Amino acid sequence: MNNKLIERFFVTVAFLVTLVLGAGNAFAVENESSVISPYWQTDTDSYSFVAVSHPSLSGTNSEIGVVLNVLTDNGTTTFGSSVFTVSQNTTTRVFIVATNHSTINSTNVTGSSTVFITGTTAASSGSLAFTPRSSNPTTSREAGGQISNQATDITMLSYWGAIVVSSTNSGFAMEFIGDTHDSSFLTETTATRFTQVPVGLN
């Protein structure tokens, strides 16, 4: 058991290094506006599950658009991708599954807040890259006519997930790395000056 945990740790580190160094040209990941998970896997028995929740932090927009790229081991090709919107006080469920998974599929698991990413029937693994749909996610939208500061920053969303082995009802937790403690964004206060505006709990 300990050997498997040690091996899993080194595999996770290797995937993280591959994502940051090897995939930089294919998928630009900026730590102030993106979130990554260094490992996912799927086969006929296992699948990866991710929940993305909007905790309604003050200063965040009521809807935040997310682009998810599911990268394979070499970090340059995708297993699949999806673009979805997470609304205030809701959770979007993401299932990464093989095309022939018998119990976890779009027929058995339904709902408007459910996203399926399916790929090959063979066993696959890799890393996840969450990037913002907005072109300026950390900039206040107040100047555009909004009543209050509203950032579409995906690092203010809550991420958690697990790799699940269906046959044994077991699995292990996924890790998510993002600048979730950067609780401020730039906003224009005059024609020539920007200032930091805090984003935090109501």
Query: pLDDT (tens digit, 9 = 90+) per residue, 139-154?
Result: 655 545 444 457 788 8
pLDDT confidence tier of residue 25, bands split at 50, 70 and 90: very low
175 strand-pairing partners: none
Cβ proximity of 102 and 64 under 8 Å: no
Q: What are phi and psi of 143, to 5 degrees?
A: -65, -20
Cβ proximity of 114 and 162 under 8 Å: no
**Average model confidence (pLDDT) across the chain:** 76
Entry pTM: 0.71
Query: pLDDT (tens digit, 9 = 90+) per residue, 85-132?
Result: 999 999 999 999 988 787 888 888 888 899 999 887 778 899 999 998
Among 93, 102, 197, smallest CA distance to 153 is for 197
CA distance 20 to 3: 26
CA distance 116 to 61: 25
